[in-house]
Structure 1
């Protein structure tokens, strides 16, 4: 699969927020599941130049956000189109995002946080080179949830 990255448009942000709905426990990742996350995702100014749409053959299949932590680390947020999840494409998608970020930012490390129930994603991130640092509790989606902090050193 070949992925291209472009700055996210408002139309793409609205499409993701309004139509990407995950099944079962993965509904946790619906952008609309948390009012604050939704407001930030839909605000073009807050997305700034750090959120990118991922296209395959001209179709929107995912997104990545990259936050420079000013210590050489880029913090990553990402999402795949619901119909693509669970089909063995996660590692290729993740590694394409890492390669894009390497060329754009030249970081020394990447970090990300993932809900601990999401063993499917944790497995993908480990295969892509991330290691687990530890867990923490974060308030989001109307409650407190456990997340795993992961890091990848270049």
Structure 2
């Protein structure tokens, strides 16, 4: 995949908010509202497109990447760069995850040298397995309603220049 990062337009945000995932990943489905559009346009989200400008996915950095329920479990106290990712549901489960996530980590490394933290639902073993391939380790458990989440952290080796090895 030839990927590039772009800023999102309102039409892009609307398209992304109408993505529909199959069970059990349907918990990641969004509701198209004015507030949801504004969140995607708040500056913390970036869109990833291929060479034909098709939306491959999105990622966000900072507060938008955190699951708000995690705050009451104190899982975000350590100084890390929080990253959230989403892939176009038409592309999930087809072997694109490794290259896609590697690209996101490269983009994050351009701006940050901190450790990287992800929050992921524990049922999402597909994502957890991918993150572990990049050296992320399971850290803290927390709950949102009846759903269990974990944080996963990639410790930046201060001697390394990158977050992962090719």
State the TM-score, normalized to the length of structure 1: 0.83
Q: Greater Rg, structure 1 or structure 2? A: 2
Unaligned runs of 5+ in 2: 64-75, 157-166
2:113 maps to 1:107: yes
Q: Secondary structure at 2:43's aligned position in 1?
A: coil
User: What residue in structure 2 maps to residue 147 of structure 1?
Assistant: 149
Asked whether the equivalents of residues 72 and 107 of structure 1 are also in contact (C-alpha less than 8 Å), the reply is no
Gaps of 5+ in 1: none
Partners of 1:125 and 1:24 in 2: how far apart? Answer: 21
Please give the alpha-carbon distance, in whole angstroms, between the structure 1 residues aligned to 2:34 and 2:137: 31
Deviation per CA, 1:37-66: give whole Å up to 9, x if none: x6653115x742210000012111100001
Report the TM-score, using the length of structure 2 for normalisation: 0.78
List per-residue Cα deviations over 1:44-98 (Å, max 9, x = no partner).
5x74221000001211110000117897521011100001100111121111101
Secondary structure, aligned partner of 2:62: strand
In terms of fraction of residues, the more helix-rich structure is 1
Q: Are 1:52 and 2:46 counterparts?
A: yes
- Structure having the higher strand fraction is 1
Partner of 1:8, secondary structure, is coil
Structure 1 CA distance for aligned equivalents of residues 3 and 12 of structure 2: 16
Give the distance between the partners of 2:84 and 2:147, measured in 1 at CA. Answer: 17
Alignment pair present for 1:126 and 2:126: no
Instruction: State whether residues 52 and 64 of structure 1, in contact with CA within 8 Å, keep that contact through their aligned partners in structure 2.
Output: yes
Give the root-mean-square deviation of aligned CA atoms.
Answer: 2.2
> What is the number of equivalent residue pairs in this alignment?
143
